[in-house]
Amino acid sequence: MTTQNTVIYVISDALGETAEFVSRAAAAQFLGVKTRIRRVPYVRDELHLEDIMEEAVAERAILVYTLVLKELRDYLEKKAIEKGLRTVDILGPLIGALASQTGLEPTHIPNIIHRLDEQYFRKVEAVEFAVKYDDGKDPRGVLYADVVLIGVSRTSKTPLSMYLAHKGLKAANIPLVPEVNPPEELFNISPRKVIGLTLRPELLNSIRTERLKTLGLRAGSDYANLDRIMHELEYGRSVMKRVGCPVIDATGKAVEETASIVLELLFKEDRNE
């Protein structure tokens, strides 16, 4: 089967993340098509649009756009017809439907969702927090976190911290190592905001073995030794018991699934307060 090449220009008066996501989802439906997506953010005037469309003509690109200003949408559509370009308006029809349904006029303010959505700024702050206090870099983060994840190495603490950060939660994580005492801060906070993570020894052994291969190290290292892993897990359970926190066995669970359990535990405690 011959592979076809297609180019999509994602044009937006903001970041264009939504339009790019939709474009990638649509392109994924065509296995015989190699699609290149070019995102063009912060387009605010006709001159900028004209330059983009000249380039799009040369590549016979499809124009996918999220433009709030009706004047820009109309201009783009007019020029696209003149130049023989296909277009997909992602925002316009929905804005029109909402205006018709509510009887209200839209604000026509570009990027307004990021200006007004406090959750967006909280998410950014939470991601920065997760990076700063990842892997026990600074134990003081435990005192300011919304949730603290503890567990031995490779129990998905970092991916889970980042996923929770995108939900707006400030997550710190602390690795549990038998030779290193946990930070005292861990025992000075409410155990209700601490979550222990564990995995079955065999799976952890497999994950660590693959990790060593990735790093170019020999698989016989203590890091991937099953007896050592059993010892670490036992130590981890003892710390979790001392903290008095709930423990999640993440074996066979996707990060999203583990995160939903964490959120359920946290919100359950909030409701009980």
Tokens 């020999």 sit on residue: 218
- 102: annotated binding-site residue? no
Tokens 């003509």 sit on residue: 57
Q: What's the half-sphere exposure (Cβ side, CA atoms, 13 Å) at 260?
A: 4
DSSP annotation of 52 reads H
Residues 114-158 pLDDT 10s: 655 667 788 889 999 999 999 999 999 999 999 999 999 999 999
Nearest to 50 by CA among 14, 91, 85: 85
Q: What is the pLDDT of residue 120?
A: 74
| Length in residues, the chain | 273
Residues 36-85 pLDDT 10s: 999 999 898 999 999 999 999 999 999 999 998 889 999 999 999 999 99
- 157: annotated binding-site residue? yes
The answer to whether the CB of 235 falls within 8 A of the CB of 181 is: no
- 100: annotated binding-site residue? no
Give the residue-averaged pLDDT of 219-223: 80
- 156: annotated binding-site residue? yes
**pLDDT > 50? residue 271:** no
Q: What is the pLDDT of residue 115?
A: 57
- 221: annotated binding-site residue? no
What integer best gives the mean pLDDT of the chain? 91
Taken in order of first residue, the domains within the chain and their CATH numbers are 4-116 (3.40.50.2300), 118-272 (3.40.50)
- 152: annotated binding-site residue? yes
Tokens of 85: 């370009």
- 86: annotated binding-site residue? no
